[in-house]
Amino acid sequence: MPHHPTPDLVVTGGTVVAHDGRRRQDVAVRDGRIVAVGEGLAWDGAAATVDASGLLVLPGLVDVHVHLREPGMTEKEDFASGTAAAAAGGVTTVVDMPNTYPPVSTAERFQEKLDLVAPKAHVDFGLYGMLGQDNAEEMTAMAGLGAMGFKLFMGQTTGDNRCPDDAAIFRGLEAAAEAGLVVGVHAENDHLLRMFIDRLRAEGRTDPRAHLESRPAFVEVEALTRIITLATEAGTKLHIHHLSTAAGLSRVRDLRAQGHRVSVEALVAHLTFDDSAYDVHGNLVKLNPPIRPAADVAALWDGIGRGDVDVIATDHAPHTAAEQAEPDVWKAYGGFIGLETMLPLLLTETAEGRMTVEDIVRLCSYAPARRWSMAGKGAVAPGFDADLVLVDPSAGTVVNGASMHSKHNITPYEGRELKGSVVATYLRGVPVYEKGEVIGNPAGRQVRPGRTRGER
């Protein structure tokens, strides 16, 4: 038995939650890594001891879908503010999307972004490159710089990102397969949704619900069927971002039964709002794909229960206050902030019996860390990074934008009463959030894909 050197930090008396169970355990940390997890062990001379009695100890959440808007849209958010929000929300790893200005479609831009954002990160981060029109060689070069994967926009979203044609998509899927990296896809058929938007505009519609009508379920079903077909042929690890419809999930089930392998993500927003939200929040809840009717929301929850949904993410997508107040649905941007509300919202769902805290750990930490091959992330276990979130599952809180950390804290959850709150967040053993404050200098590091510990 090796002798454990003196730990830097010991978290005692908490309940450590894994993806498949929970136990009352102490956690010892040295040099940023967990060195031991055990019950009632004696730790002599630890530099710091934290009493977590009555609290849950979770592995830091891994959010594989955020838009921190840097470079080029820093009036909306930047890496400092966005990763501060992550720290406050118990999210210790974010993977940032490439639809910035300019979009991250070349190795040169990838390196520029990395140099720009790394000194500002309060949590660890990975960066996606773009799967664009004819940039397969650049994708290979971005993989060499540590890209976590590639984003493919099949449907329009923030930024000027035209959907590549099917041949370009296939060449990009091949390049990603060669690099062994995940391609994450926004699966909506661009031509169809533009046609529906034109029709609704011609009818004079500008109301929030017109956005939902412009993107019927088959727009998603067609796109995901096509991309899953292509990705299987190319041998690519494919991830469907923000799957939003019952029909889409049903199609994924059918395709999986035929042997297609794909991971599926649901957004917190799609799980916590149905289309009645348009009447209350207007264009603030405009999202691509849209907030759907209650039957689709129920199908997503059913998919979580049955294991059809692999990952929950935020799609944290900040805009300025003025932009969020835009009354014309076609001029309004899609998306809103979510990093600070994800964990409290999901803890509230556990209090209401829709899921367990183990489900949260699986869907928001363990599974994404494995899918994107993040070594050392996703579990509270020896050898893993000491990314820890201390949670009080019984604390009642009210969502209050004024206490949040994004640049524009406008949230449709404002005033919502929640059960469960983040008490403290540790990044590799160092506290980054405590007592309502983000603390310390930015110490986040780039996460590159590598073999995850314990992965065969």
- Give contact residues for Zn ion (rule: CB under 5 A): 315
User: Which tokens belong to 168?
Assistant: 């370009």
Please report where in the chains the tokens 């940039």 appear, as a residue. Answer: 135
Name the residue nearer to Zn ion (CB basis): 184 or 208.
184
Smallest separation, CB 242 to Zn ion (Å): 7
Smallest separation, CB 130 to Zn ion (Å): 13
- How far is 41 from 225, CA to CA, in rounded Å? 52
Smallest separation, CB 317 to Zn ion (Å): 6
Give the residue among 331, 330, 336, 301 at the shortest CA–CA distance from 318: 336
Smallest separation, CB 197 to Zn ion (Å): 19
Smallest separation, CB 168 to Zn ion (Å): 21
Smallest separation, CB 154 to Zn ion (Å): 13
Name the residue nearer to Zn ion (CB basis): 188 or 315.
315
> Of all residues in this chain, which one has the CB nearest to Zn ion in the complex?
315
Distance from the Cα of residue 172 to its chain's centroid: 23
Name the residue nearer to Zn ion (CB basis): 314 or 365.
314
Name the residue nearer to Zn ion (CB basis): 315 or 392.
315
Distance from the Cα of residue 304 to its chain's centroid: 16
Smallest separation, CB 277 to Zn ion (Å): 18
Smallest separation, CB 241 to Zn ion (Å): 6
User: Which tokens belong to 364?
Assistant: 């928001």
Strand pairing partners for 15? Answer: 24, 56
Name the residue nearer to Zn ion (CB basis): 98 or 164.
98
For the chain, the residue count is 456
The secondary structure element, H or E, covering residue 176 is helix 166-179
At position 252, the amino acid (one-letter code) is V
Name the residue nearer to Zn ion (CB basis): 345 or 438.
345
Name the residue nearer to Zn ion (CB basis): 268 or 386.
268
Contact 337, 293 (CB under 8 A): no
Contact 89, 418 (CB under 8 A): no
Conformational region of residue 423, where left means phi above 0, alpha means psi within -120 to 50, and beta covers everything else: alpha
Q: What share of the chain is helix, strand, coil (3-state, %, to 5)?
A: 35, 25, 45
CB-neighbour burial class of residue 254 (10 A; exposed 0-12, middle 13-18, buried 19+): exposed
Name the residue nearer to Zn ion (CB basis): 19 or 242.
242
